[in-house]
Amino acid sequence: MKYASISDRLDGLGAAKWAVHIAGRGRAVRGEDLIFLSIGEPDLPPPPAVVERAITSLHEGRTKYTSGKGEPATLDAIAGHLTRRSGGVTVTRDNIACTSGTQHALYAAINTLVEFGDEVLVPDPYYATYEAVVAASGATFVAVPTLPEQNFHLTPEALEAAITPNSRVLLLNTPSNPTGAVLSEAEIDAIGEVCERHDLWIVCDEVYADLTFDVPFSSPFDRPQLRERSVSVASISKSHALPGFRSGWAAGPAEFIRRLTLVSETMLFGIQPFLCDAVVVALNETHPEVARQRDVFRERAQAMVATLAGSDAVSVHMPEGGMFVMADIRPTGLTGEEFAWRLLDECGVVVMPGESFGSRGGGHLRLALTVEVDVMIEACRRIRELAEQLAAERAA
C-alpha cells in the first residue's frame, strides 16, 4: 500500500525522543519507585476560578460548535492580554486565532508560512517537537548553534551565518525549553534587524512568557518595528497549570491570521466553547496561582543549582525562565542519552537526554522543575553521585 510522504518525513521524530521517559513510565506502572524529572507538566494546582468557569459553562450547555477562529469574547481577552503585555501596542480580534494549545498553533503557523524548498531556522537546543513541525510542512529544518558558555542565547552573528536565499522563518522560543534562556529586548531587536534585512518571518513560541525569573519577558510581536513580520503562539497550559485544557492562540498580522485560520480549520474546527469561557477568565482576571507557580519554580531551580554546586562532574546554571534546567555532564565522557539510561537503571531517576533537543544539547540532561523541593534535591544528589563516579572512573 502507498502512504503519503509526510509520514516518512516524520519517522523517528516522535516517540524516539522520549524513549527514556516512556521506559520510566512503564517501570513505574510495574511498581518501581522512580523520581521523574522528565516532563514539563506543572504539578501545582490551577486557578480555581478558571476551572469553575469551565464547569459552569458545561452546565450552561456551552458544548456546541463554535467559530473556527475563536469566539469574540475569547479573541478580545487574548487581544487585551497581549495589548497590556506590550505596553499598549494595540492588538485586536483581527490579530488573533484560537487554537487547541501551542502545538496546534505552531503547526498551523509553520504550514501557513513555508513549504518544500523553504528553510526554517531554529536555535539549537530546541523543543523536541520542532523538527517534526517543520518536516510536516516539507520545509528544511536548519539548526542555528548556541553555546552553553553564552547560556544558550541566540546571537545575531550565528543567525546571519545560517541564512541562505531559501530561508523564510526564524522559529524562536523564549523562555526556552529546554535551556531556560530568556532573550532580552536588546537581543530581540538585534535579531529582528537581521530578520528585517533578510525578509524573514519570526514565529515565537511564548508558552512560558509568564514564568521568567527576575528578568523581563520580551517578544518580537511586542516590538512595533517587528509586528508585521512576527507571530506569537502561546496557551494557558503552563502559565495557569492547565495543559489538559488544550487552549491556546496564534497572534500576528491580520492577513497572516486570515490565512492561518484556513489551515487551522482543516485540523480542528473551533475549540470547545466551555474552554473558551475559561480562557476569558484566565486572561481577564488576576490569579495568585500564576505568580505562586513562578515563585515555586524559581525556588526549585535555586535549590537544584545549590545541590549541584561545586561538582567537577555535573554543572548547572540558574535558568532565566521556564520550568527546566540544563545539566552539563560532559566531564563524565558519556552522552546525555547514555547517562540518562544509566541514571534510570542504577539510580531510579528519569530525565530527558539533551540530544532529544538537538545536537547542541549533547552531553547534557534536561531536568524538569516539577517535583517538590525535597524530592528534587534527592534526585540531584543521585545525579551528582553517578556523575562523579563516572568522571572518576574516566580519570583513573
CATH number where 137 lies: 3.40.640.10
Domain end position, chosen among 230, 252, 284: 284
The predicted structure's pLDDT at residue 14: 76
Confidence of residue 155 (pLDDT cuts 50, 70, 90): very high
Residue 174 confidence (pLDDT) above 80? yes
The predicted structure's pLDDT at residue 88: 86
The predicted structure's pLDDT at residue 262: 96
Q: Per the structure, how many domains does the chain have?
A: 2
Q: What size, in residues, is the chain?
A: 396
The predicted structure's pLDDT at residue 146: 97
d(CA 150, CA 157): 13
91 and 163 both lie in a single domain = yes
Residue 34 per-residue DSSP state: -
d(CA 42, CA 25): 17
258 and 325 both lie in a single domain = no
Residue 270 confidence (pLDDT) above 90? no
In a domain, 360, yes or no: yes
Provide the pairing of β-strand 201-205 with 230-235.
parallel
d(CA 90, CA 288): 26
254 and 319 both lie in a single domain = no
- Condensed to tens digits (0 to 9), the pLDDT of residues 358-392 reads 999 999 999 999 999 999 999 999 999 999 999 99
The predicted structure's pLDDT at residue 263: 96
Domain end position, chosen among 253, 284, 315: 284
Q: Which residues contact 52 (CB under 8 A, 6 or more apart)?
A: none
313 and 224 both lie in a single domain = no
Is there a cis peptide before residue 175, judged by omega within 30 degrees of 0?
yes
d(CA 244, CA 246): 5
Domain that holds residue 337: 5-45+288-391
Angle between helices 273-284 and 48-59 (to 10 degrees): 150
d(CA 10, CA 223): 34
Q: 61-77: b or e for each residue (b if 16 or more CB lie within 10 Å)? A: ebeeebbbbbbeebbbb
Q: What cell numbers appear for 366 in the block? A: 534536561
The predicted structure's pLDDT at residue 40: 87
In a domain, 329, yes or no: yes
33 and 70 both lie in a single domain = no
d(CA 264, CA 271): 11
41 and 83 both lie in a single domain = no
Does pTM top 0.85 for this prediction?
Answer: yes
95 and 20 both lie in a single domain = no
Residue 213 per-residue DSSP state: S
Confidence of residue 15 (pLDDT cuts 50, 70, 90): confident
266 and 210 both lie in a single domain = yes
Please answer whether residues 231 and 192 qualify as being in contact, where contact means their C-beta atoms are separated by less than 8 angstroms.
no
296 and 267 both lie in a single domain = no
Coil vs helix vs strand at 77: helix
263 and 214 both lie in a single domain = yes
In a domain, 396, yes or no: no
d(CA 73, CA 38): 36
- Condensed to tens digits (0 to 9), the pLDDT of residues 188-205 reads 999 999 999 999 999 999
